[in-house]
């Protein structure tokens, strides 16, 4: 039987651990830092602070001791993107020699401007590193509502092993070998969700939101291709699928953050960045795009608004008065 450990006892980590345990095909443990919380979860089978009203499966184990990692063949890193490198340093010594590490965060490392798989490979050079991403709210996953996401690894057979090990009756993973596309889709859709929230908060209308989603998807494709990923990935679950979910549902923290910006409310970006991945990803993605010579006007505008360099009215005027071009660039002949 496969042994899987999920590191991170927040809403998403707990939901993933629960849905995997429910399949009965793997022995699953949820690893968290708070000893008291893990003891409460073990005794009560409820995580009311993160997933109110959701009964966790009896087969799920709980631990605050990293030694639980010793026999795990698959380890999911479910903590914010900016905490992934430190988590690798903390838990790396306890990993089994053949463990596959899966990052489940949707962001870009701000300190290095690198994708999270690259960061984890630097910290854990002897382990295959994959990424799980796509349209899935923790509450939906934990309640057994139908959800589909992507899992990508450098080698397709690794991604296929992960998809078979983690998928269940209500949770389906599609394997891929495009880690770049899956990761940038997950990170950039958060930025675009903030943009959609700004549109909503500023009362700019549903037509503006639709245009923003479409043009944002085009931006996402350009950067993915420039970074070595595939445009088709952007049109899949981790790109378009996650963008539609996050840009339209008020369950999304990124959308709610953008609404506050659009309404003109002051926001503490330092505090919000820990929870709102897009607040970090906007400036990082903007820098990546400039380095690659890729135009990303929506992302640039969101980064400028968050940083206080641009107001919503000026950003709208700048976007609407850009030079007129065709919707899609014509292929070179």
CB 35 within 8 A of CB 104: no
Select which of 189, 260, 290, 313 is catalytic: 189
Give yes or no: residues 148 and 284 share one domain: no
Give yes or no: residues 205 and 245 share one domain: yes
- Per-residue pLDDT, 325: 81
Q: How many domains does the chain have?
A: 2
- And the tokens for 209? 């939101």
Give the H/E segment covering residue 3: strand 2-7
Give yes or no: residues 58 and 149 share one domain: yes
Confidence of residue 56 (pLDDT cuts 50, 70, 90): very high
Give yes or no: residues 184 and 155 share one domain: no
Residue 61 CA, chain-centre distance (Å), reads 25
Give yes or no: residues 129 and 6 share one domain: yes
| Mean per-residue pLDDT, 26-32 | 98
Confidence of residue 268 (pLDDT cuts 50, 70, 90): low
- Residue 273 is given by DSSP the state H
The CATH number assigned to the domain holding 207 equals: 1.10.1040.10
Strands (E), 127-250: 129-133, 147-152, 171-176
Question: Is residue 278 one of the residues assigned to a domain?
Answer: yes
Give yes or no: residues 207 and 312 share one domain: yes
Is 27 one of the annotated active-site residues of the chain?
no
- Please determine, for residue 332, whether its predicted confidence score (pLDDT) is greater than 70: no
- Please determine, for residue 149, whether its predicted confidence score (pLDDT) is greater than 50: yes
Question: Is residue 329 one of the residues assigned to a domain?
Answer: no
- Please determine, for residue 273, whether its predicted confidence score (pLDDT) is greater than 90: no
Torsion of CA 92, 189, 276, 37, to 10 degrees: -50
Question: Is residue 129 one of the residues assigned to a domain?
Answer: yes
Confidence of residue 322 (pLDDT cuts 50, 70, 90): confident
Which percentage of the chain shows pLDDT scores above 90?
Answer: 88
| Mean per-residue pLDDT, 253-262 | 94
Give yes or no: residues 166 and 257 share one domain: no
- Per-residue pLDDT, 72: 98
Question: Mind listing the pLDDT tens digit for each residue in 208-243?
Answer: 999 999 999 999 999 999 999 999 999 999 999 999
Question: Is residue 69 one of the residues assigned to a domain?
Answer: yes
Question: Is residue 325 one of the residues assigned to a domain?
Answer: no
| Mean per-residue pLDDT, 185-209 | 94
Give yes or no: residues 310 and 203 share one domain: yes
| Mean per-residue pLDDT, 125-133 | 98
- Please determine, for residue 269, whether its predicted confidence score (pLDDT) is greater than 60: no
| Mean per-residue pLDDT, 139-153 | 97
- In Å, the largest CA–CA distance within the chain is 66
- Please determine, for residue 280, whether its predicted confidence score (pLDDT) is greater than 50: yes
Of 177, 212, 246, at which residue does a domain stop?
177
* Average per-residue pLDDT for the chain: 93
- Please determine, for residue 274, whether its predicted confidence score (pLDDT) is greater than 50: no
297-306 helix and 179-201 helix, angle to the nearest 10 degrees = 60
- Please determine, for residue 257, whether its predicted confidence score (pLDDT) is greater than 50: yes
Confidence of residue 265 (pLDDT cuts 50, 70, 90): confident
The CATH number assigned to the domain holding 16 equals: 3.40.50.720
Three-class SS state of 130: strand
- Residue 240 is given by DSSP the state I
Confidence of residue 272 (pLDDT cuts 50, 70, 90): very low
Question: Is residue 328 one of the residues assigned to a domain?
Answer: no
Question: Mind listing the pLDDT tens digit for each residue in 57-110?
Answer: 999 999 999 999 999 999 999 999 999 999 999 999 999 999 999 999 999 998
Of 177, 203, 234, at which residue does a domain stop?
177
Which percentage of the chain shows pLDDT scores above 70?
Answer: 96
- Per-residue pLDDT, 328: 72
Angle at CA 284, nearest 5°, toward 11 and 256? 45
- Per-residue pLDDT, 326: 79
Question: Is residue 146 one of the residues assigned to a domain?
Answer: yes
Higher pLDDT, 270 or 322: 322
Give yes or no: residues 192 and 301 share one domain: yes
What is the domain range of residue 48?
Answer: 2-177
- H and E: helices and strands count for the chain: 15, 10
- Per-residue pLDDT, 14: 98
Give yes or no: residues 136 and 190 share one domain: no
- Per-residue pLDDT, 333: 46
Give yes or no: residues 302 and 231 share one domain: yes
């Amino acid at each position: 039987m496969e042994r899987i450990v999920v590191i991170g006892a927040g809403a998403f980590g707990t939901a993933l651990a629960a849905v995997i345990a429910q399949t009965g095909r793997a022995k699953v443990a949820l690893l968290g830092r708070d000893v008291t919380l893990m003891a409460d979860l073990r005794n009560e089978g409820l995580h009311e602070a993160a997933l109110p009203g959701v009964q966790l499966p009896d087969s799920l184990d709980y631990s605050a001791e990293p030694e639980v990692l010793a026999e795990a063949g698959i380890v999911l890193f479910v903590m914010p993107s900016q905490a992934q490198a430190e988590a690798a340093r903390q838990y790396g010594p306890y990993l089994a020699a053949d463990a596959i590490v899966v990052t489940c965060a949707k962001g870009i490392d701000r300190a290095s401007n690198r994708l999270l798989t690259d960061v984890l490979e630097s910290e854990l050079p002897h382990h295959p590193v994959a990424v799980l991403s796509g349209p899935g709210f923790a509450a939906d996953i934990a309640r057994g509502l139908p959800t589909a996401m992507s899992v990508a690894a450098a080698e397709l057979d690794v991604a296929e092993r992960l998809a078979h090990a983690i998928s269940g009756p209500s949770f389906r993973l599609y394997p891929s070998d495009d880690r770049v596309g899956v990761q940038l889709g997950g990170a950039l859709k958060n930025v675009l969700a903030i943009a959609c929230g700004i549109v909503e908060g500023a009362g700019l209308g549903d037509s503006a939101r639709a245009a923003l989603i479409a043009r944002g998807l085009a931006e996402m494709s350009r950067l993915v291709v420039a970074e070595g990923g595939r445009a088709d990935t952007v049109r899949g679950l981790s790109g378009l699928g996650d963008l539609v979910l996050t840009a339209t549902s008020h369950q999304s923290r990124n959308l709610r953050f953008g609404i506050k910006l659009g309404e003109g409310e002051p926001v503490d970006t330092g505090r919000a960045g820990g929870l709102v991945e897009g607040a970090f990803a906007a400036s990082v993605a903007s820098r990546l795009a400039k380095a690659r010579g890729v135009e990303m006007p929506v992302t640039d505008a969101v980064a400028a608004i968050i940083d206080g360099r641009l107001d919503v009215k000026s950003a709208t005027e700048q976007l609407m008065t850009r030079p007129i071009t065709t919707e899609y660039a014509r292929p070179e002949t």
